[in-house]
Chains A and B, each alone.
Chain A
């Protein structure tokens, strides 16, 4: 009897708390909760140090040795290290944002996310935020290790501007990831193949390992749809002595385009997410694919 009384009171209190937190509080709680497994959980599997640090450093080293061998300008070494670090974000968006909802569907999490009173946009933002934090840790280690290993000298023009470019590039890039995640909601096995196909060409096009100024103007402009391209270009301009001379567009112009892309991708993500959720509920495709 006593037990049932306390539980009834608790139920009332809980209900009130839940009603109160409807709206933006629930939104923020959801973002943080969904970011948590990426910020805390993902660090527990120690193999990330090998896959996310050692392997990228090896790839970067290969380019550094080639550039040194052909006596390319010394700043190219710094370019490659920065490119290698940014690759980590691209991989993260591809494998842990875009195709993520497909995996969440397989494990049954997706149905639970949709059934809960939270907004799916908050779930995606949480995934993005967690991905950015976890990957910044990895990218930071790559930059520090790479710079020490190959004695890179930086000449930063403006730290605030560098930070602004980085943040905007992240918003645009993860905004794109969120947009693709909504589209992937309806895909099943194909999701994996699409991510696989997209991985390599983007390495080339976004100029991870060389400045995109080397491309024909129109190819470079086309490649700029991928937010990493312009972000990387602007960051190189701001961080290295010869950066500005090797830049594609002016930093301000690149900042403007990144801002435009951010807004576009986030709005598209929001729209597509709502649409795809409705469609999936109508067609019965929210849970694991049946044989």
Chain B
């Protein structure tokens, strides 16, 4: 078996310089990462803001040195053999503003192709082909500063595919795109990997659906650690024994929601407040635990507006692993950062 990416005990600690009032400190962004991505795989890294996804991509693309462990990409060590890794990879980040606004789409793409030694004629031919596929043929001579966000991102993605890398890294490729553009991008990504078994693609995302529908395998990452790594199916199958309910109820506070969690047979309860109602996601060990939840609600005067049994999603897998939903993790992350 050929592995396109192997990491061994990989970790990164950032030193944060102190300011006038703050002490210098260390931040562990990545820890004990043990991954093996097979050649030909479309691999997803799923995690909330600050989980360490970009840090991992930077290490794998030779832009950042790990402080622990090691990693190989396309068979070469990312630190000691960076010059062997670089011709074989490419990377695109969501929302990046690379290139020069005064150059046209074709000129920008041509420029980046030159840095990989691709002959001009081949580069221009490839640019035309790829722009046709993403439906941007009519924009080939548009100045890149005149492109909309969606078209810009498509241009960036074309830049990644242009050098036909062995391993392509996409950091949040659909960030900020509307539904249609996201779908186009996903279809194109899938198509590209399917076309040639030697191609490998690693993408990061914090959209559950994207990881679920697009990726062959997914690693769930939180606070710098990989918590689980498997096919979306197998990840969800872990919850096959459990029963999942979504309940729309009259407003309640989160301490109330926590009391449900202590009931026998209830694994996890997450709570989202909306205007005039709340949504509870319940993970139960068996169906009949629902009865005690409903009973407790009646005594607390909480009204059930809607109840729905559903299939597990990656969101539930995340909640099961971390204890909170990705949304909650991101919210608490922000408040910590503000202190």
Contacts and interface: CB of A to CB of B under 8 A. Distances in A.
A4 B112 contact: no
Contacts, number: 118
B116 A116 contact: yes
Given A18-B87, A45-B102, A108-B93, A287 B196 contact: no
Interface string B92-127: 010011111011000100111011111100100010
Interface stretch (B32-40, B59-67, B175-183): B59-67
Contact of A14 (B15, B61, B115, B122): B122
A14 B164 contact: yes
A8 interface: yes
B91 interface: yes
A33 B113 CA distance: 9
B62 A7 contact: no
Interface residues of B, number: 41
Interface in A257-291: 281-284, 286-287
Contact of A117 (B97, B110, B117, B164): B117
B58 interface: yes
A115 to B, nearest CB: 5
Given A7-B195, A11-B164, A17 B63 contact: no
B27 to A, nearest CB: 10
Interface of A is mostly: helix
A282 B15 CA distance: 11
Nearest to B111: A33
Contacts of A112: 91, 98, 112, 115
A285 to B, nearest CB: 9
Contact of B98 (A107, A117, A281): A107
Given A108-B97, A116-B86, A36 B117 contact: no
Contacts of B62: 114-115, 281
A120 to B, nearest CB: 11
Nearest to B55: A284
Interface stretch (A23-31, A212-220, A238-246): A23-31
Interface in B73-102: 83, 86-87, 89-91, 93, 96-100, 102
- Interface size class for chain A? 35 or more
A22 B117 contact: yes
A108 B14 contact: no
A113 B115 contact: yes
B198 interface: yes
Interface of A: 3-4, 7-8, 10-11, 13-14, 17-22, 25-26, 29-30, 32-34, 36-37, 40-42, 44-45, 107-109, 111-118, 281-284, 286-287
18 contacts: A8-B198, A11-B164, A17-B118, A21-B119, A29-B117, A33-B112, A34-B111, A36-B103, A37-B100, A108-B97, A109-B98, A113-B115, A114-B63, A115-B91, A118-B116, A118-B117, A281-B64, A284-B58
